[in-house]
Amino acid sequence: MNASRTARERARAELTREIKEEARRQLAASGAQGLSLRAVSRELGMVSSALYRYFPSRDELLTALIVDAYDAVGERAEKADREAAGDGLRARWRAVCHALRDWAVEHPHEYALIYGSPVPGYAAPEDTIAPATRYPFVLIGIAQDAATAGHLAADAPAPAGRLAGQLQGISDAMAPDVPPAAMARLAAHWSQLTGMIGFELFGQFANTLDPADDFFAYSVDRMADDLGFPA
Amino acid sequence: MNASRTARERARAELTREIKEEARRQLAASGAQGLSLRAVSRELGMVSSALYRYFPSRDELLTALIVDAYDAVGERAEKADREAAGDGLRARWRAVCHALRDWAVEHPHEYALIYGSPVPGYAAPEDTIAPATRYPFVLIGIAQDAATAGHLAADAPAPAGRLAGQLQGISDAMAPDVPPAAMARLAAHWSQLTGMIGFELFGQFANTLDPADDFFAYSVDRMADDLGFPA
DNA sequence: ACAATTTCGAGAGCACTGCTCTTGACTTCG
DNA sequence: CGAAGTCAAGAGCAGTGCTCTCGAAATTGT
């Protein structure tokens, strides 16, 4: 009935946490492919079959790590946005964009887990899609604030047809004052962020834009220009 | 000395091709993770160890598939660009961008192989970086033609410092008339393309911008606007 | 307080993986 | 013809995810 349940339950929560911790360590060391249940259990001093009491399959363990990663990046972005709240739209935009990249550079394998190619044969279950929206929602929130402040640019051709409906659907759910054209811009920028970070992390910029710090910062500012955020 | 060498050499070339074909089939069916040398050899009616006469390791086979994929997407883009050559800059831009997406949708696993997260523990060897530049080079070529025709927009803040040098380096090597600001735009667009395609392929657009045809087409046109290509 | 139930770790085992090494047969070339 | 080079096959190693069973322990119901 109380917070500290039975000894068994506390032990179970503790071990579940330790398993995820060790799994994350292995993830960082050798990637999703190298995540081995046997190695995790070995490191924890237990036998491999015992792990299945905590995660019914390797995929379930992966799912747990994915959800944690989405939450981590979401929380980081929300914190960055909060801390830049008083400094204007452009500062918030910068902070949230750089929060994503910083987290990605710090945790490349976890980033790859959520924004890279999916582990083949693994289908992301429903539980992952709610945490996945947390980061983009911060971006959209800035645009929403910009819209109510009259600082959101709207000089692009209005999307038509099905696209207009899709964009309106997003607005209705998350940012009622952001018009479809701006929402399309936002989605494009969001794509571009992951594209740039992916290129940087996965080595596509080798010999050209690597190190990519300056390119990223420059591009983030151009996005802010594009959205009409005041300098 | 002549084109048809010894029977042995012809047999070897033939088998090498067949191995890659079967490997690509398995890749399409179950992804890079599911690519099993044993399964390939089984399908080809040979024993697994025999495969090592042709590819010294699984990674070498992957590398061969990666190079082939880069070449395939590069060739597709060059063809699209050629066929749209008479229709103006915007038509060429559209054609080349859609060529990438079409190829990606047709070969999602091969696309993931080259633009997704790298297979952990696998380091892309030098041989892959030349074919990798083939596609972006087509994009840059359009910008170069636009620049000489005086149709390349240049109304963004000029990049400074290290970034300016990096961009200039790309221009020097591939497109002497494209100024740094435009080259930065181009790199951003190139990032955005892979970002959008990645989102579409890897399911990040589920429930929002999926199907993504219209969003992609709309965004590609906004990029052309941004580059100043005449309608 | 004692019995019934649930939870847990351990171990054996299955079918699979990439990869190495050795063996014997075949082809090519001097 | 015979030496040199090439090839497929087979056995074997160390590793994987996962299942099943078994006995011990903790929890729960009476």
Amino acid A6 CA to nucleotide D27 C1' distance, rounded Å: 9
| A52 and A82 housed in the same domain | no
CATH number at residue B72: 1.10.357.10
Amino acid A44 CA to nucleotide C16 C1' distance, rounded Å: 25
Choose the final residue of a domain: B56, B74, B98: B56
| B102 and B207 housed in the same domain | yes
Amino acid A67 CA to nucleotide C7 C1' distance, rounded Å: 26
| A88 and A161 housed in the same domain | yes
> Which residue from B77, B81, B128 is spatially nearest to B104, judged by alpha carbons?
B77
| B73 and B17 housed in the same domain | no
Amino acid B199 CA to nucleotide C6 C1' distance, rounded Å: 44
Q: How many CA atoms lie within 13 A of A166 on its CB side?
A: 20
Residue B70, helix vs strand vs coil: helix
| A47 and A83 housed in the same domain | no
Maximum distance among all alpha carbons in chain A?
62
* Residue nearest the C1' of C26 (CA based): B8
Residue B152 domain-assigned (yes or no): yes
Distance CA A57, CA A8 (A): 22
Per-residue pLDDT of chain B (231 residues), as tens digits, is 334 567 788 889 999 999 999 999 999 888 888 899 999 999 999 999 999 999 999 989 999 999 999 999 999 999 999 999 999 999 999 999 999 999 999 999 999 999 998 766 566 778 888 999 999 999 999 999 999 999 999 788 999 999 999 999 999 999 999 999 999 999 999 999 999 999 999 989 988 999 999 999 999 999 999 999 998
CATH number at residue A47: 1.10.10
> Which residue from B195, B223, B201, B101 is spatially nearest to A195, judged by alpha carbons?
B195
Choose the final residue of a domain: A32, A56, A80: A56
| A20 and A110 housed in the same domain | no
Whole-Å CA distances, B27 to B74, B108, B113: 20, 10, 9
| A4 and A73 housed in the same domain | no
**In this predicted structure, what is the pLDDT of residue B1?**
38
C-alpha angle A191-A194-A196 in degrees, rounded to nearest 5: 105
Q: Does A198 contact chain B (CB < 8 Å)?
A: yes
Which positions in chain A touch B59 (Cβ < 8 Å)?
Answer: none
Q: Name B205's Cβ contacts closer than 8 Å, sequence gap at least 6.
A: B199, B212, B215
**In this predicted structure, what is the pLDDT of residue B121?**
59
Bases along strand C below 7 A from a protein CB: 7-13, 16-22, 27-29
Q: Does A36 contact chain B (CB < 8 Å)?
A: no
Domains contained in chain B, number: 2
- DSSP assigned state of A229: -
**In this predicted structure, what is the pLDDT of residue B118?**
76
**In this predicted structure, what is the pLDDT of residue A3?**
42
Q: Does A30 contact chain B (CB < 8 Å)?
A: yes
Residue B113 domain-assigned (yes or no): yes
Distance CA A113, CA A72 (A): 13
Residue B149 distance to chain A (closest CA, Å): 25
**In this predicted structure, what is the pLDDT of residue B72?**
98
| CB < 7 A contacts with chain D (nucleic strand) | A 6-9, 35-39, 48-49, 52, 56-59; B 8, 12, 15, 45-50, 53-54
Which residues 94-123 of A have a C-beta within 8 angstroms of B? 109, 112, 115-121
Q: How many CB atoms lie within 10 A of CB B81?
A: 20
Distance CA A226, CA B223 (A): 12
The 10s digit of each residue's pLDDT in A172-227 is 999 999 999 999 999 999 999 999 999 999 989 988 999 999 999 999 999 999 99
| B109 and B200 housed in the same domain | yes
**Beta-carbon separation of A202 and B34 below 8 A:** no
| B74 and B145 housed in the same domain | yes
| A8 and A69 housed in the same domain | no
| B161 and B99 housed in the same domain | yes
| B186 and B100 housed in the same domain | yes
**Beta-carbon separation of B117 and A116 below 8 A:** yes
Copy the structure tokens of residue A29.
Answer: 């060391």
Domain that holds residue A148: 65-227
Residue B61 domain-assigned (yes or no): no
> Which residue from A163, A115, A168, A198 is spatially nearest to B212, judged by alpha carbons?
A163
Contact (CB, 8 A) for A100 and A135: yes
C-alpha angle B195-A208-B196 in degrees, rounded to nearest 5: 5
Contact (CB, 8 A) for A206 and B129: yes
